[in-house]
Amino acid sequence: MRTNPRQHILDTWRAFARVTNNRGNWAWGGRDPSNSISDAEQILCLLYPATEVAGFKLERPDAIEDDVLAVLKPMGSGLDIPMQLLEALEQYVENYTDAAGPTFTGGSYLQPEEPGNEVKPEQTEYDITESYSISITLCLSAKGFLREFQRTVERAALRERIEVVVARLDERLTAAMVGLLRSFVINVLEPDSMEETLLLERVSQGRTVGRTLTQDLRGQLQAVRDRLPELTFGLPPENERILRDYPDRFFECGWTWGAAEDATDIDLPAAVGVRQPHGVAESRPMLHFTVSALDGLADLFSARTSRQGLLTSEQQPLREALNLRWGLALQYWATIATFGTGRWPMEDVPWTGDDGRTSPYFTELVLSVVSLNEQRGIAAGGEVVGRSVGVLEELAQRGRVNRRAVEEDRGINLHDPGVSMPLRGSEADGPRLAWVYTGYAATLAKIALRLAGVTTSRRTRARLIEVADSAVDHLLLRRQQDIGLWDDPANAFPGVSPVPATPSWDITERVVEVFVAAATLVSAPPLADQGQIDQANAKIAEARHILDQERLTIPMAGGAEEQKLLREVEQLLNRADGLVSGRPATASALADKVLRDLDELAFARQAAIRSA
């Protein structure tokens, strides 16, 4: 990889420390006024790498790496840094908790769909799925960090202070899990409706929509449909009746933008006392918020969460309910994206949404679901990754990520002003709102890195890494020159107006996620194929056989140098044996050295015999 994730994270943290530290206090806000999503993104710019990447740990003050201390110097010494994080987390849970419990509002991130309209105060108080999702990531990262930090603390008062914050984070985590249950929706499509027509057009890819195609689609979705009646929490009871009474109807499932308009209360012990406001979001899944929820839930189901025991016993039933929805949503959208024997729907760029709107960003979202499904290890196999590469390469070109853009190029709109998605149902209290996303390049890089981590093909991996490297180069070009954070599209695109020298935390946090994904890929074992493994094993077997022959030939009382050499080559062979499955090229190189050393030993002995 051209991308050097460690250096990029250090550079970002250096800029972050300058911007966030205000005379020893945490400075909130950026280009957008503070809200529950933006402030969580700001904390995660520091906390996410610290809990996900080795070498960036901050919870043990005496073990922080020297280069990390150097870039975070504006925040203080080794002890000052975790203390500032603790204070930021205290302020965050305080700012986004009221008398009824944690709040998950969108605030300044909500915009009117029609320019010139004004967002009403009631609308800024809507709970947003994006806030639920990022709160799960924040609470899990923060709990893991604080538990480790607490082990280094001796003062009882500070330990109690940490305990209070952890308890409030647990309260927020529970509320976020309840919110995701209530924003998950199932939409059974009416026959001949626009939604059904668009679905069938999407999967048909130009073929005649007839009985065979619809039966094939129903058959592939049957496994999802069979389990949907199990989803009772948060969903209206008529969903189960419609699914039972109309088995031939198509459906869609996923997350809408907030608590659904027909969401019911979650009746579980963990949800007792949790605020469950009446929802207004239309009960139709939106791809953007579905992917946002899936990403947050991936952290909930991660090995780190289980290993560190970050969930309470009361939260386990919520986890199981969300796990079922997570798996079904992944399976549903991956099935739609890869349906058919010819060109797959995901290869038909741009993807058409259920409202008829098209965008390359929607194709990115579908690929994001496919990549998560591949990471689970139960998907269709190498063909999925192989066919995804070409789509990612096309998306990079369409978004002018790896191509020069000209003024008024349509590809620029994906980054500035971004992709606008209407929030249907938000017009209940004012003008219809929209969610605008400008992280096209960051999403592209993250998907490429995720797929690169699961492919077994060197050629495919090289192409995916090239897409990711190109996207990172593009993102680095868009770094704000004055402060070193993101985002200034004017640096990359002609005709775009410069932006204020203030950080956009949503893009900065997504860029940090890309660097973390790159570090994860680099940290993984190198790609190995069976041919390399077989070749290394053959060399090791030959070397061991020759070693046994030498032991038979050389008396135990032989020369000290000869005995030392035999012990050294045996140690090298043992190491090669341990590396052969994960690093066959290294194992092969070690075996080569052993073979050369043994041959030199035999040659020297033969030369001595001839001279005698």
- State the CATH class of domain 5-194+226-523: mainly alpha
- Nearest CA-CA partner of 428 in 577, 528, 205, 279: 279
How far apart (Å, rounded) are the C-alpha atoms in residues 462 and 38? 34
Does 83 score more than 70 pLDDT? Answer: yes
Cα atoms in the Cβ-side hemisphere of radius 13 Å centred on 299: 25
Q: What is the pLDDT of residue 530?
A: 78
pLDDT in tens, 567-604: 888 999 999 998 888 888 899 999 999 999 888 888 88
Q: What DSSP string describes 501-570?
A: SS--HHHHHHHHHHHHHHHHHHHSPPP--HHHHHHHHHHHHHHHHHHHHHHHHS-TTS-HHHHHHHHHHH
**Quick one: pLDDT at residue 400?**
96
What is residue 600's predicted lDDT score, i.e. its pLDDT?
Answer: 87
Instruction: State the pairing for strand pair 97-98/358-359.
Output: unpaired
pTM for this one? 0.90
Alpha helices (H) along 28-79: 36-52, 66-71
Tell me the two tokens of residue 562: 């000869």
The angle at the Cα of 559, spanning 556 to 562, to the nearest 5 degrees, equals 85
Handedness of CA 27, 91, 281, 399 (dihedral sign): positive
Task: Return the exposure string of 238-255: e unless at least 16 CB atoms fall within 10 Å of the residue's CB, then b.
Answer: ebbeebeeeeebbbbbbb
pLDDT of residue 57: 96
pLDDT tens digits for 145-164? 999 999 999 999 999 999 99
Within 49-208, strands assigned E span 97-98, 101-102, 111-112, 184-188
| pLDDT over 50 at 205, yes or no | yes
- Tallying the residues shown for the chain, one arrives at 612
In tens, the pLDDT along 380-429 reads 457 899 999 999 999 999 999 999 999 889 999 999 999 999 999 999 99
Nearest to residue 291, comparing CAs of 405, 419, 166?
419
Q: Rounded mean pLDDT of 84-93?
A: 97
Task: Tell which residue, 98, 540, 603, has the closest CA to residue 611.
Answer: 603
Taking the CB of residue 24, how many other CB atoms lie within 10 A of it?
12
> CB under 8 Å to 425, separation ≥6 — which residues?
257, 261, 280, 281, 282
Q: Could you tell me the residue ranges of all domains in the chain?
A: 5-194+226-523, 534-611
Which run of H or E residues covers position 434?
Answer: strand 433-437
- The set of residues, in sequence order, having a beta carbon less than 8 Å from that of 606 and lying 6+ positions away, is none
Provide the greatest CA pair distance for the chain. Answer: 104
> What is the distance between the alpha carbons of residues 222 and 205, in angstroms, rounded to a whole number?
21
Task: Encode pLDDT of 17-67 as tens digits.
Answer: 999 998 888 999 999 999 999 999 999 999 999 999 999 999 999 999 999
Question: 111 is written with which tokens?
Answer: 């915009």
Whether 461 and 527 have beta carbons less than 8 Å apart is answered as: yes
Q: Is the predicted pLDDT of residue 468 greater than 90, yes or no?
A: yes
Does position 556 have pLDDT exceeding 60, yes or no? no
CA dist 362 and 360 (Å) reads 5
Mean pLDDT across the chain, nearest whole number?
92
